[in-house]
């Protein structure tokens, strides 16, 4: 229980410390979540006929939840985990766009039973569908989307380099390992990345989803709010740039070099060897004790029969 209380206190301290840094993006994410709730109501009350709208509702509901959890994780100091959710948000927007209003693809999505692959199988197909749905044909924008996704996937797939920077720090006393929330400049940068991308890709997600709403006035009004949030995000560029700069500088100073990483690996291998020898010694002693116990039981039984 005390360990859990320590973790809760650490999260509370982290949230209090980084809230001032993340405030502008958190406000936008909260508005985005509200927009999703109203968008889901609009689609649910005025759905277009067919299966595509049903698939759209399922994926949009998942998006709304992922954006909310991404925000909560980021605010608690779990920027890496929030960024991993950002990659999932990206993928779901792609799937939502790929299905679109196609009844045949809606059927394919509903009947997809391959747990080894998602739908669509290629993330690239989702990117193309999303940009096409938004009438964006700029190659630079397409590459920006790819770059953002690649970076989020470094967190999602525990890329060794980003994991080393996040989980192992170099400070005055030596090395320190991180477990729990990260309120450092690097951690704040990761949280900011997650929140920024939640809005950046969440806006296209709800814009595409509202195509399943048959009430034109609702669709136009809510899509206008999605565009407004996307525009507001552009106003946070300087905020985001400053946090990224601070995070990059800290990671450059505190990151473990290749030589240090090799030294750590060597030390870990040595410790693993020592632990293996200790385990073998304890196993041998345990076996000796077991044999001694068997002998004592046998002698005790013999004494009892002699009585």
Task: Give the model confidence (pLDDT) of 28-54 as tens digits.
Answer: 999 999 999 999 999 999 999 999 999
Neighbours of 140 (CB within 10 A): 7
User: What is the percent of the chain with per-residue pLDDT over 70, rounded to a whole number?
Assistant: 87
Answer whether 175's CB lies under 8 Å from 5's CB. no
Is the Cα dihedral 93, 248, 143, 141 positive or negative?
Answer: positive
- Per-residue pLDDT at 160: 76
- Per-residue pLDDT at 130: 93
Answer whether 103's CB lies under 8 Å from 51's CB. yes
Q: Kind and range of the H or E element at 169?
A: strand 168-171
Instruction: Tell me what the mean pLDDT of segment 61-68 comes to.
Output: 97
Question: Which residues, at least 6 apart from 215, have a Cβ–Cβ distance to it below 8 Å?
Answer: 42, 45, 46
- Per-residue pLDDT at 246: 87
Name the β-bridge partners of 177: 168
Name the β-bridge partners of 47: 213
Helix (H, G, I), strand (E, B) or coil at 175: strand
- Per-residue pLDDT at 204: 95
Q: Tokens 């076996």 label which residue?
A: 287
Alpha-carbon distances of 5 from 2, 10, 77, 88, 288, rounded to whole Å: 5, 9, 16, 30, 42
Query: pLDDT of 243-294, one tens digit each?
Result: 888 888 877 664 444 554 455 455 556 656 676 787 788 788 888 888 888 8
- Per-residue pLDDT at 307: 59
Answer whether 62's CB lies under 8 Å from 31's CB. no
Around 91, how many Cα atoms within 13 Å sit in the side-chain half-sphere?
19
Instruction: Tell me what the mean pLDDT of segment 80-100 comes to.
Output: 95
Helix (H, G, I), strand (E, B) or coil at 99: helix
Provide the token pair at 91. Answer: 């993928």
Between 290 and 226, the more confident residue is 226
Answer whether 28's CB lies under 8 Å from 233's CB. yes
Answer whether 119's CB lies under 8 Å from 112's CB. yes
Q: How confident is the model at residue 89 (pLDDT cuts 50, 70, 90)?
A: very high
Closest listed residue to residue 158, CA positions, set 253, 81, 77, 247: 81
Query: pLDDT of 177-222, one tens digit each?
Result: 677 788 888 889 999 999 999 999 999 999 999 999 999 999 999 9
Provide the token pair at 54. Answer: 């049903």
Report the DSSP pairing between strands 168-171 and 174-177: antiparallel
Between 303 and 82, the more confident residue is 82
- Per-residue pLDDT at 65: 97
CA 201 to mean position of chain CA atoms:
14
- Per-residue pLDDT at 172: 56
- What whole-number distance in Å separates Cα of residue 293 and Cα of residue 303? 15
Closest listed residue to residue 84, CA positions, set 4, 151, 161: 151
Query: pLDDT of 108-154, one tens digit each?
Result: 999 999 998 999 999 999 999 999 999 998 899 899 999 999 989 98
Helix (H, G, I), strand (E, B) or coil at 176: strand
Name the β-bridge partners of 174: 171
What is the C-alpha radius of gyration for the chain, rounded to an integer number of angstroms?
27
Instruction: Tell me what the mean pLDDT of segment 50-69 comes to.
Output: 96
């Amino acid at each position: 229980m005390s360990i859990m209380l320590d973790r809760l206190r650490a999260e509370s301290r982290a949230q209090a410390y980084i809230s001032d840094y993340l405030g502008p993006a958190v406000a936008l994410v909260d508005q985005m979540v509200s927009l999703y709730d109203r968008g889901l109501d609009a689609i649910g009350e005025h759905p277009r006929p067919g299966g595509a709208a049903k698939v759209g509702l399922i994926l949009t509901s998942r998006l709304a939840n992922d954006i909310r959890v991404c925000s909560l994780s980021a605010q608690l100091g779990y920027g890496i985990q929030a960024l991993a959710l950002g990659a999932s948000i990206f993928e779901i927007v792609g799937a939502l766009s790929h299905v679109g209003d196609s009844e045949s693809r809606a059927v394919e999505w509903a009947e997809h039973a391959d747990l080894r692959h998602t739908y669509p199988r290629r993330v690239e197909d989702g990117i193309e569908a999303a940009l096409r749905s938004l009438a964006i044909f700029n190659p630079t924008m397409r590459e920006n989307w790819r770059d953002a996704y690649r970076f989020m996937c470094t967190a999602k797939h525990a890329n060794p380099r980003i994991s080393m920077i996040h989980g192992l720090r170099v400070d005055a006393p030596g090395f320190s390992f991180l477990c729990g929330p990260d309120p450092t400049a690097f951690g704040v940068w990761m949280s900011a990345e997650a929140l920024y991308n939640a809005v950046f890709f969440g806006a296209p997600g709800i814009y595409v989803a509202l195509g399943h709403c048959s009430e034109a006035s609702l669709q136009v009004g809510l899509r206008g709010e999605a565009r407004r949030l996307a525009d507001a995000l552009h106003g946070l560029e300087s905020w985001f740039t400053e946090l990224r700069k601070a995070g990059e500088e800290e990671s450059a100073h505190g990151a473990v070099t290749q030589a240090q990483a090799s030294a750590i690996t060597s030390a870990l291998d040595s410790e693993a060897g020592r632990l293996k020898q200790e385990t073998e010694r304890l196993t041998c002693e345990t076996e000796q004790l077991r044999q001694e116990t068997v002998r004592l039981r046998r002698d005790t039984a013999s004494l009892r029969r002699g009585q």
